[in-house]
Structure 1
Amino acid sequence: MSEATTLPAAALLQLIWLASPALPVGGFSYSEGIEAAVDAGVAVDEASTRDWLLDQLVLVQARSDLAAAASACVAWQAGDLARVQALNAWVAGTRESAELRLQSEQMGRSLAQWLRQRHPGDARVAALDALAPAPTWPVAFALAAAATGAPVRDALLAMAFGWAENAVQAAVRAVPLGQSAGQRILAALADAIPAAVDDALATPDDRRQAFAPGLAILSARHETQYSRLFRS
């Protein structure tokens, strides 16, 4: 982006709120596969964990959830419910394991409940609730972000950073890592997020994809992992 813009304070604070691990959607209970990666010996120290999460940002988040959320933001803003339904069905149908689908749907439902309390008169929240079989996380986040009035790129930056902070905290507990190592990994992710967001924004429907076989295999293994702290 060539021109810097100043986000209104109210919208900025709303995005910070949405990106916070304190948002009551249960994100802290999921590791996004990192716990299974630790068990498989893929993420064993700071360097390997950083590389695993950077790959997940670029190969999974940017090409799938961030791209879907970008399109959903535009659809919510335009009141295009048919487009919202199609995007929600795409997200639900591309989860590659039962626990990844559970995560997306549980977090989507929880955010919908939060939005009912925040925006009780917004008909779009009722439309979100009515999505079958459930509202998914990227589509629900898109509505929450659209309600702030923030530009789509800023919304995706918040979504990506929220994902990164949660993933790093899971890694700190699961690998385990020290807090300083966790902050260094988070810094690396923060440096990579703007480019990942721009890639997501530039991704048309026919190039959006959720193909991450390594993550899918580890996630499926995690469902029966002997000892675990997280739901994914």
Structure 2
Amino acid sequence: MMNDKQLFYLMQIAGGTFPSGGFSQSWGLETYVANGKVSDEASFKRFMETYLESTVAKCEGPVMCQAYRLATDGDNRKIEELEDLSRAVKVTKEGRESSLRMGKAFMRIMADITDDEKLTEIKDMCGPEGITYPVIYGLVCGRLGLDIGESMKAFVFSTVNALVQSAVKLVPLGNKQAQRILLELHPLMEATVEAGMETPLEDISNFCPGLDIAGILHEYLTTRLYMS
């Protein structure tokens, strides 16, 4: 079971106010809203279901969990190999660059405020380009000794919450609708956590052409509020 200190850590690093830049990403949602495919509560929920099942449960979740397991491993080559994989499965340029920006910001802050020598070592190893967000999130949770299951839950919830808040602005949705969506997505979030923890790294998949196309088209939108 988690102690209070662990819970506070998770609430801090996975909270929407942590300056990792997640609030500036829509991961293709803005394109779907612009072309009219997401226009109300029901269509947004379908988007969320697709995103969680294709991207988080089968890809980012397993990568995060593997990074957690490598947090106390002395072989940095394994971390580099995992990072290469994490970048490779990000098909679109915008999605890959966004994950790197978030990861770089997260790593810089956590290396500085924790004074963890391993995180500082990883920061120096990655250089100016940075590191993808799922990898550094898992490494930080592992270094802090947080429970892997609770870390995964916070990772999934923060992803969902950020996208719901983006939908409030883009669709738009009301605050009551947003909270209802979060509540109704609880079972899917639980399933996403289980899949992320149980899927071996060799079985990860990020196959969702619709989301990839939305990511490619995003930079050509007439107006944009988000970076992806």
TM bucket (normalised to shorter chain) is over 0.9
> Which segments of structure 1 move beyond 6 Å, counting only runs of 4 or more?
none
Q: Distance in 2 between matches of 1:121 and 1:196?
A: 30
Amino acid at match of 1:73: Y
Amino acid at match of 1:168: V
Q: CA deviation at 1:118?
A: 1.5
Q: What is the correspondence of 1:33-48 to structure 2 with a 5 Å cutoff?
A: 33-48=28-43
Counterparts of 1:103 and 1:129, CA distance in 2: 20
Residue 36 of structure 1: CA displacement?
0.7
Structure 2 runs not aligned, ≥5 long? none
Identify the residue that residue 149 of structure 1 maps to in structure 2: 145
Tell whether the 8 Å contact from 1:108 to 1:134 is kept in structure 2 after alignment.
Answer: yes
Separation in structure 1 between the aligned mates of residue 74 and residue 57 of structure 2, nearest angstrom: 24
* Contact 1:109 1:135 (C-alpha < 8 Å) held by counterparts: yes
Question: Matched residues, percent identical?
Answer: 28
> Structure 1 residue 77: deviation in Å?
2.8
Question: 1:23 matched to which residue of 2?
Answer: 18
Matches within 5 A, 1:91-110: 91-110=86-105
TM-score, length-scaled by structure 2: 0.95
Q: Which moved more, 1:121-130 or 1:109-118?
A: 121-130
| 2:119 maps to amino acid | R
User: Which residue, 188, 191, 213 being the options, matches 1:192?
Assistant: 188
- 2:204 equivalent to 1:208: yes
Tell me what 1:166 maps to. 162
* Pick aligned residue for 1:116 from 87, 106, 111: 111
CA deviation profile, 1:55-89 (whole Å, cap 9, x unmatched): 21111111111110001100113334222111111
For residues 128 and 62 of structure 1, do their structure 2 counterparts lie closer, same or farther at Cα, with a shift above 3 Å needed?
farther
1:32 aligns with 2:27: yes
For residue 116 of structure 1, report the CA deviation from its aligned partner: 2.0
For the residues of structure 1 that align with 2:196 and 2:84, how far apart are their CA atoms? 18
**1:129 offset after TM fit, Å?**
4.0
2:3 to 4, 8, 32: 8
Shift of 1:123: 2.3
- State the secondary structure of the residue aligned to 1:160: helix
Q: Are residues 57 and 129 of structure 1, via their aligned partners in 2, closer, same or farther at CA, if it must alter by over 3 Å? A: farther
In structure 2, the residue matched to 1:3 is none
- One-letter code aligned to 2:93: A
Q: What residue ranges of structure 1 are gaps of 5+ in the alignment?
A: 1-5
Q: Using the TM superposition, give the Cα deviation of residue 96 of structure 1 relative to its aligned residue in structure 2, in angstroms.
A: 1.5
Partner Cα separation in structure 1 for residue 107 and residue 23 of structure 2: 17
**Cα 1:128/1:142, change in 2 over 3 Å:** farther
Cα shift at 1:205: 2.0
User: Aligned to 2:79, which of 70, 80, 84?
Assistant: 84
Question: How far apart are 1:134 and its partner, in Å?
Answer: 2.5
**Is 2:121 aligned against 1:126?**
yes
Contact kept in structure 1, 2:82 and 2:135, CA below 8 Å: yes
How far apart are residue 51 of structure 1 and its match?
A: 1.3
Cα separation, partners in 2 of 1:153 and 1:20, compared to 1, 3 Å: same
Counterpart residue number, 1:217: 213
RMSD: 1.4
1:50–1:188 CA contact under 8 A, matched in 2: no
